[in-house]
Amino acid sequence: MVPRGSGDAPDRPPHGPDLHPRPGGRGAAGRGRAADRQPQLPAPAGRPALRRGPKAGRLAAAGGRHAAAGAAEDHRAQAEGRPRRPETAALTRRGLALLALLLAWAGPARAQDYAPVLRAAFTAIAERHLEATEPPLVGLWALRGLEAIDATLSSARRGPALVLGFSESLVADRLAGTTPVSVADAVAALLAEAERQSPALRRAGRQAVLQAIFEEIFNHLDPYSRYTTPEETRLGRERRLGIADLGLLLAAGPRGAVTIAQVVPESAAARAGLRLGDRVIDADGIALSGRDIPEAMAVLEGPAGSSVVLTLQRGRQRLSVVLTRSPSPAASVVAEVRDGVLWLRVPFFAAGTPSQIDLALARWPVAAAPLGIVLDLRGNRGGLLQQAVQVADALLPPGSLIATTEGRHPDSRRRFRASGPDGAAGRRVVVLVDGRTASAAEVVAAAVGDLGRGLVIGSATLGKGLIQILVPLPGGGELALSWSRILAPRGWPVQMLGVLPGLCTSLGAEETARGLANLGTADSPMAVPLARARAARAPVPASEVAALRNACPPAEGREADLAAARAVLERPEVYEAAAGG
């Protein structure tokens, strides 16, 4: 089968998976400190030596009583032109020699540990990130990330130099230059100085330091770029390449329950007799209740041939079953026909989602579902962009523009068009969304709505419209770097705005009924907000984003969405007027 969807530039670097925002508040940016505020550090003079600040002075004073007499004698000798006490001069010479030896031994080795990773990362950020940023500023953010581990550290920019302080004392400065590589080398050298001064950094270890650095950098750039450790990278790569599963699809049940929504024929789950509606309590002792569906599915995945023990609740009966994982495409589509409507529930996107959509459309043609199709994307957090393009392709006429991506790097700019036949065969289409619908799922909803191919019902979606590229780093780690933004067919940015529905259900039953009665007319409550959203161009002011999203506030999906979808499909004239807008 030829893959659906096409772009105008082949052999692009791979796009990363949908990434949730990083937890905020750890680094300096998360604590609300302005990016350009300078800490109070002494001004450097050439290559600074280690200097005592107030805290160091207090520590020195504690032992000063024992040396006071000797120090006074040294001062008197200096005033009278006599040499200092021999033991004082010898200690000073030995101390300076020891300090020089420590600096020569510890600094370069530690700097070399960090320099390759920082060079590759800073170069990728400079060349590929969506927003252009001066490398010295990235270097400053990197140093400020250390404060999440040791709050006594501080950093600043002083002209062409980056300055590092410890306990309000100047530790060192380095000329940073203006290139990503020169800044990376300066930061690596300052990191070596910081580790010598900070027991907290030494205890944290290299990976924790790198995570703190990159978290602070990306706090200033965007909410979706992130660094993954070598171990996290390995696990993520296994998942992207395809990993064995149990052959079942989960769904969210009442009060945080996780239930079985579909069992793939001839799969491990089918052979074990698992049934629709079984509640999955835990897997190998890991509780699934309260987890979102993609996270719960990830718990069930593992290497082919490995086993997992599931604890199930079936009515009043508690069951324990052992399943062996086997390679199979994740079942990500629940399809059924009810009263002339084909309902396609897609809680997440996976590699097999487009083909499963195609199979469902072929299995239930127009005669089986004459009223139309409901594509339920509520709670769908997205996936790869290409998966979204292929799903949208199944619902659109050939040649339709599905989405555009734009960024600073030439390879980030693409246009995606439908390339296959309209698998929906012209049937009416309703797309259900809610405040959790994100990323690739928003691409599908935006394309269907913008092109007048169907009606979007629900609430404003999440507004995750940035695409990440995966950048391998020396040592096995990886950056997921936001390098382009998604534009809907009419040119508006998905990021922050999200997708606004043509029929809003998040304002209550009365407003839903009013919207349904006025669909397709100038009196429709969503007519003006939709027109404004489609005319928006990046960057959209935050005040405009808030005003548009408040027209239909994001909310969790509800039963009223299903009733509204059926009501629209049962009134062809209303549907045609609304979808045509």
Q: How much is the average pLDDT of 305-316?
A: 93
Are 474 and 570 within one domain? Answer: yes
- Residue with the bigger pLDDT between 208 and 60: it is 208
Average pLDDT over residues 71-98: 43
pLDDT digits (tens, 9 = 90+) for 15-66: 444 434 454 445 555 444 444 444 444 444 333 333 333 333 322 333 333 3
CA distances from 320 to 161, 174, 280, 375, 536 (A): 63, 61, 10, 34, 54
- One domain for residues 269 and 217: no
- Count: domains in the chain: 3
Q: Are residues 312 and 199 in the same domain?
A: no
Average pLDDT over the chain reads 83
Are both 287 and 384 inside the same structural domain?
A: no
* pLDDT the model gives residue 534: 97
Report the DSSP pairing between strands 429-433 and 153-158: unpaired
Report DSSP state, residue 15.
B
Q: Residue 258 belongs to what domain range?
A: 243-324
Distance of alpha carbon 443 from alpha carbon 6, whole angstroms:
14
Structural domain contains residue 374: yes
| Residue 312, strand partner residues | 280, 319
Given 305, 324, 343, the domain boundary residue is 324
The verdict on residue 217 lying in a domain is yes
Could you tell me if 294 and 372 lie in one domain?
no
Lowest-pLDDT choice from 162-166, 241-245, 558-562: 241-245
- Return the pLDDT at 581: 58
Within-domain flag for 63: no
Regarding pTM above 0.95, the answer is: no
The predicted model gives 202-218 an average pLDDT of 96
Q: Is the residue at 529 inside a domain?
A: no
Query: Do 503 and 420 fall within a single domain?
Result: yes
Residue 349 in any domain: the answer is yes
Buried b (16+ CB within 10 A) or exposed e, 262-285: bbbeebbbeebebeeebbbbbbee
Sign of the torsion angle spanned by Cα atoms 122, 123, 124, 129:
positive
Residue 76 lies in a domain: no
Per residue in 146-204, pLDDT tens? 999 999 999 999 999 999 998 877 778 999 999 999 999 999 999 999 999 999 999 99
- The pLDDT of residue 528 is above 60: yes
* Residue 507 within any structural domain of the chain: yes
- 451: domain CATH number? 3.90.226.10
Strand 401-406 versus strand 414-417 pairing type = antiparallel
Higher-confidence residue: 54 or 569? 569
* Shared domain check, 574 and 431: yes
340 assigned to some structural domain? yes
More confident residue, 502 or 28: 502
| Same-domain check for residues 195 and 320 | no
> Which of the listed residues 263, 293, 324 is the one where a domain comes to its end?
324
Name the E strands within 17-106: none
Q: Which of 154, 187, 222 is the endpoint of a domain?
A: 222
Same domain, 320 and 342: no
Position 391 scores a pLDDT of: 97
- The domain spanning residue 283 has which CATH number? 2.30.42.10
Report the amino acid identity of residue 69: A
CA distances 473 to 108, 195, 215, 233, 479, Å, are: 20, 22, 16, 10, 7
Q: With residue 405 as reference, give the H or E element that holds it.
A: strand 401-406
Same domain, 419 and 281: no
What local confidence, expressed as pLDDT, does residue 303 receive? 79
Shared domain check, 355 and 259: no
H-run or E-run covering 91: helix 86-128
Which single residue is written with the structure tokens 């509204």?
564
Q: Is residue 425 located within the same domain as residue 560?
A: yes
